[in-house]
Amino acid sequence: MYNQKKTLYTEDGDILNEKHRNLTLKGTTANKGIAFGKISFLKRVASEFDKVKIRSINAECERFEKARQHAITQLSALYEASLEKLGEQNAVLFQIHQMMLDDPDYVSSINEVIRKEKANAEYAVHKVALRFEKQFLEMDNDYMRGRASDVIDISRRINEILMMHAGKIKSKGISFESDGPVILATDDLAPSETVQLDQHTVTGIITTKGSDRSHTAIFARTMGIPTVVCIGSKLTKRYEGKFAIIDANTGTVYIDPDEETILKFNEIKKTDDAQHSHLEEFRGVPTKTRSGRKIRLYANSGSLSDIDLVKASDAEGIGLFRSEYIYLQSKDYPTEDEQFEIYKEVLKGMGDKKVIIRTLDIGADKTAEYFMLKPEDNPAMGLRAIRLCLSNRALFKTQLRALYRASVYGNLSIMVPMITSVEEVTETKKIIEAVKKELTEQHLEFKDEVEFGIMIETPAAALISDELAPYVDFFSIGTNDLTQFTLAADRQNADLVKYLNPYHHSVVRLIEMTIQNGHAAGIWVGICGELASDEHFLGKLIQLGIDEMSVVPSSVLTLRAKIASLG
């Protein structure tokens, strides 16, 4: 029946479009785009396991151990396979999963259930997974809460392997009905499930739960799959096999759309595809505004394996190389020579193009066990980045030595994150001078003049940017942290998303202040946070006088085209 606003509902309470009587479901956009296909619900092997009495405890523990080792091997292969598809900064999640499978508490807890309850390994794994999930979800730290889905993912993997070994299933993983293009529907997707998807078969993803900031959403964006999440209980299996259209630009799913709606979205998709083809016209041309003002358009990178993606994107250089991923991939502190080889290959790979390498930014949501950092109530404001480096100078010197040794192989710039004071900059420069003196005494080659910059990602740094500018060659504004610190809203907390407004006047004023103070001191100013990729804010950044932008590789041509249309 109709309500006063003439909105038509089905018996189940779903909204029908007034004009065309199209059934629509609303959710949250995780990755924009238009997709067509039949809805197919994801099928998994059993997720709950009955308790079965076992005859031999030792044999069952050994069975679990074999499955665990098998899972670690799978994850190692998945990491390698994901590098090209997802990039290093996303693929590293599968290395984190490997480390979780090696966690002594997790392993001993499963063995304890097997021994104490004389229970089968599948039951023990499932029981411990639920216990760990509950513990993670109850933690105050958002990064740790995010590990809840990871422990379920790794536990599901072990149980699939156990069932395969027992002959209960023939193959592991996910399945769904596939007769032509498919819109995959599910409660949520684990990262390991998302990366398995065939992009030629799965044209779109819709979920009842999830978040536009989840690993799955990030993976979907990287893979270019239109995705709508958080549809809720309206998305049910009664839609299995129904033809649907995802309008992920508005977060709308059309079920059994009429011909007029299909034609409409076919035209929208054609326009989107044509726009993509139009972008190729901007490959190989300088990034300039209509008035001829040059903007340096660089790409972000997390590893040596990302270099091909950066080069394919036609970026003019690397504006942010996240060196912390070298540490996150390692089981112990990477040596000077190990780091040197990576930096050298990155610089050689980029030829004469600029490569800005950010020094270690471990802490907050990025950490490795061997650092043995103390638990913090608010790690984002704790011992991280430059604070960690200055409190462990041997660690810092090792990285700086590797960087300067690699400098002879390309066009290196170094920048330091999370600066809050002039003293942090001067202390860093003293360490650099000490490193250069050591290298000279050891007759090791390096470039003496390496461009040195800092990240402006705290309100403190922005407010004293006039005092900081004389000590550096450039500023790079990190808008993600600058926004969360300015607005006192943890960006890892999904409940605070509405408060994380990067367009807030306070954030914009700090950006403007930083640019003005940088230019007054004769240095260039760049931006490398998510705001750099925001087409809607691009005009404002150009107006404010930004000199450089570093974005995800997939955004380079889009932004170059947009910049060319601006005055």
User: Which residues have a catalytic role annotated?
Assistant: 215, 528
Q: 3-state secondary structure string, 272-326?
A: HHHHHHHHHHHCCCCCECCCCCECEEEEEECCHHHHHHHHHHCCCEEEEEECHHH
Tell me whether residue 358 is annotated as binding.
yes
The first and second tokens of residue 337, run together, are 């020579």
Half-sphere exposure of 179 (CA within 13 A, CB side): 8
Q: How far apart are CA 354 and CA 376, in angstroms?
A: 36
Query: Exposed, middle or buried, 392 (CB in 10 Å: 0-12/13-18/19+)?
Result: middle
3-state helix, strand, coil in the chain (%, to 5): 50, 15, 35
Tokens linked to 152 = 């379920």
Residue positions counted in the chain = 567
DSSP strand pairing (202-207 vs 182-186): parallel
The DSSP letter of residue 417 is S
Residue type at position 247: D
Residue 457 counted as an annotated binding residue:
yes
Count of other CB atoms within 10 angstroms of residue 540: 15
Tokens of 234: 């309206």
Please tell me whether residue 139 adopts helix, strand or coil conformation. coil
Place of tokens 């990287």: 222
Q: Are 474 and 451 within 8 A, CB to CB?
A: yes
CA atoms of 267 and 285, how far apart (whole Å): 29
Is 322 a known ligand-binding residue?
yes
Question: ∠ at Cα 59 (57, 65), nearest 5°?
Answer: 105
Residue 153 assigned as binding residue: no
160 annotated as belonging to a binding site for a ligand: no
Count the neighbouring beta carbons within 10 Å of the beta carbon of residue 111.
Answer: 18
**Distance of alpha carbon 288 from alpha carbon 310, whole angstroms:** 20
**Annotation: binding site for Mg(2+):** 457, 481
List residues forming the annotated binding site: 322, 358, 457, 480-481, 491
